[in-house]
Chains A and B, each alone.
Chain A
Amino acid sequence: MATELQLLWLALTLYTLAGSTAIGATVLAKRPERVILAIILIGLFVHALSLGLRWERVGHGPFITMFEILSSNVWSLLLIFGVAYWRVPAVRPAAAVVMPVLFLMMAWLLVTSPAAGHYPPTYRTIWLYIHVLFGKVFLGSVLVAVGVAGVILLRHARFGVARLAQLPDDVRLENLAFRFMMLGFIFETLMLIAGAIWAQDAWGRYWAWDPLESWAFTTWLALALFVHLRITFKLRPLYSAAAIVAVFVLAFLTFFGVPFVATAPHKGAV
């Protein structure tokens, strides 16, 4: 357990370094992009070791306790952001927006208990892995979109003008953010389907409107609403960016807020 936590702290330190560099670079209009990517990659590797050691020790994946859920999501969100950062250069300045969101999760992670939880019998199915995987891609894609949307919003707030001004114009950035939102939309749909299949097998009903199901579906509806608002009113990039942030807040609260508040359902009765 000690090594596991030390590796985790090392990873979090590296992420903090990468994030601070990204924020500093945006403010000072510098572009140390390869350095930032390298630090993130080393952090991800160290973090993966920590997650792997824990998996080996407790005998199940990181999806039971709040500590595990936060830790594995910090990892997967950064992994997905890292891929987007690497492949799509226009996404890179979004690091200054994305990293603070992750700092929030990292701080939360540090105050949760690392004790192992109970692994319910209904979790022993392949559908859990499929469901979790889709969920992670969903949240990761929406986070990338939020980073890009954040750049649009920051520009409108007349912040960091120099560095952010070199980027493509708002219309192009909004289009990029929209693409990541729709990627997220597809994966959220897949997540809901996989979750329903699992619920049918585990609890004998595919859908019962438990709090997590209700909020996940509401997030899906919010995405449908966003798509239709964008088409019906030809939203300006500023409003579209604001809507993207709103959807992310809803998704974030669904992932990390609802299971935290409503403890009994969606865990399988004892």
Chain B
Amino acid sequence: MGMSDARVSTAAAPGGWIAAAGLKRLASLKLTLVLLLLLGAGVIGHDPVTGGAAWLVAVPLLLGAVNLSAAVLTHPVFRQQTALLMFHVALLAIVVLVAAGRLTYLNGQLELAEGEVFKGELARSESGPWHRSLLERARFVNDGFTIRYEKGVRRAETRNTVRWLDDTGREQKGVIGDNEPLVRHGYRFYTSFNKGFAPVFIWHPAGGPPQRGSINLPSYPIHEYGQALEWTLPGTQIKLWTMLQFDEVLLDSDRVSQFRLPTRHTLVVRIGDARQELVPGERMVLPAGILVYERLSTWMGYTVFYDWTLPWLFVACLLAVASLAWHFWKKFAVQPWDR
């Protein structure tokens, strides 16, 4: 009995010893130096615009997390110095949270005409592999915007009125823009510099119920001289080319101005060889139905961002600075600064 016990413990000891030694090696502070250098090189070397070579940042971060975890488990300093331990654990938490955020984030763009309801559809988006979309819950209405421009057509404040139903089903109204997003179910909606004109049509298909809809012309004023778009009439194969025409200067480079609709304009609509100029209220008769040009309106481009880790990251960051300050406070308080 005693013999076999002894055998068991001698058999287990080398394994435990090897594991402990391995952990110590992983916890090497020289490795930390190498990883910090690699991370710095990766930060400068990777391409944030295309997302190319993201592994240059991800791999040193991952190895750094392993190195740091091993150090936290094995270095005696961390048992003696609580503040230092807290700081390093907060750093670990930040890395873990950022990784979790990358797996579940969503980043997208959408456009809404004035009065249009957002129903969860994005024009463009990218997301982490584990993102579970609850976007259709984050409904809101674009109720129109004002944008002030300074001299030289420099964009100043954007104020966009939006409406939504809160959790109790009551209607809420608010103004977003610049540093103020609309936050719904964790999704953060931001106005963007993308916005423009939106002609509103009513389409009466032969033998069907009428439908109202609008098209978003290219962004204004960036595409000031390209206010045209080709689109397809819903439920048909008919391609329409549409161009907005007006003569007045909307955004004057010499004075402060506001984004606004032109006072007088025409809409050029071309289908194949047929061309017609429409003012609001006029119609175009087609074999498949009647297209009524109702009025000119606007659209706003939004970006939407989802990352559930944001508040936790904030807490971890605060914890990191607080413990860093605490650590050095204790360390430096022992001796005065002006000896």
Q: What residues of chain A have their CB less than 8 Å away from a CB belonging to chain B? A: 87-90, 118, 120-122, 124-125, 127, 168, 172, 176, 179, 182-183, 185-186, 189-190, 193, 196-198, 200-206, 208-210, 214-215, 217-218, 221-222, 224-225, 228-229, 231-232, 269-270
A125-B179, A204-B181 known; A209+B48 contact, CB < 8 A: yes
A169-B337 Cα distance, complex, nearest whole Å: 14
In the bound complex, do residue B339 and residue A204 qualify as a contact, i.e. CB atoms below 8 Å apart? Answer: no
B283 within 8 A of A: no
A179-B332, A186-B321, A228-B29 known; A121+B157 contact, CB < 8 A: yes
Q: Which of A204, A205, A221 sits near B39, CB closer than 8 Å?
A: A221
B33 within 8 A of A: yes
B44 within 8 A of A: yes
A189-B320, A214-B43 known; A122+B29 contact, CB < 8 A: no
Report, as a range, how many residues of chain B touch the other chain. Answer: 35 or more
B324 within 8 A of A: yes
Q: Kindly list chain B residues whose C-beta atoms are within 8 Å of the C-beta of A204.
A: 107, 181, 188, 190, 303-305
Interface-centre pick from B30, B150, B157, B338 (highest chain A CB count, 10 A): B338
Interface of A is mostly: helix
List the A residue with the shortest CB-CB distance to B155.
A270
Q: Which of A186, A198, A202 sits near B328, CB closer than 8 Å?
A: A186
In the bound complex, do residue A121 and residue B155 qualify as a contact, i.e. CB atoms below 8 Å apart? Answer: yes
Interface-centre pick from B43, B179, B317 (highest chain A CB count, 10 A): B179
Q: Kindly list chain A residues whose C-beta atoms are within 8 Å of the C-beta of B193.
A: 269-270
Q: Kindly list chain B residues whose C-beta atoms are within 8 Å of the C-beta of A121.
A: 155-158, 177-178
Q: Which of B136-159 contact A (CB under 8 A)?
A: 150, 152, 154-158
Interface-centre pick from B39, B40, B177, B313 (highest chain A CB count, 10 A): B40
B21 within 8 A of A: no
Of the A-B pairs whose beta carbons lie under 8 Å apart in the complex, a sample of 30, sorted by A's number, is A88-B337, A89-B338, A121-B158, A121-B177, A125-B179, A176-B337, A179-B328, A179-B337, A186-B325, A186-B328, A189-B320, A193-B318, A196-B317, A202-B178, A204-B303, A204-B304, A204-B305, A205-B305, A206-B310, A209-B46, A210-B48, A214-B43, A221-B39, A222-B40, A228-B32, A228-B36, A232-B30, A232-B32, A270-B154, A270-B155
A4 vs chain B, min Cβ distance (A) = 21
A197-B188 Cα distance, complex, nearest whole Å: 13
Q: Kindly list chain B residues whose C-beta atoms are within 8 Å of the C-beta of A222.
A: 40
List the A residue with the shortest CB-CB distance to B154.
A118
Q: Which of A87, A120, A201 sits near B337, CB closer than 8 Å?
A: A87
A231-B88 Cα distance, complex, nearest whole Å: 15
In the bound complex, do residue A214 and residue B332 qualify as a contact, i.e. CB atoms below 8 Å apart? Answer: no
In the bound complex, do residue A218 and residue B154 qualify as a contact, i.e. CB atoms below 8 Å apart? Answer: no
B37 within 8 A of A: yes
Q: Which of B42-63 contact A (CB under 8 A)?
A: 43-44, 46, 48
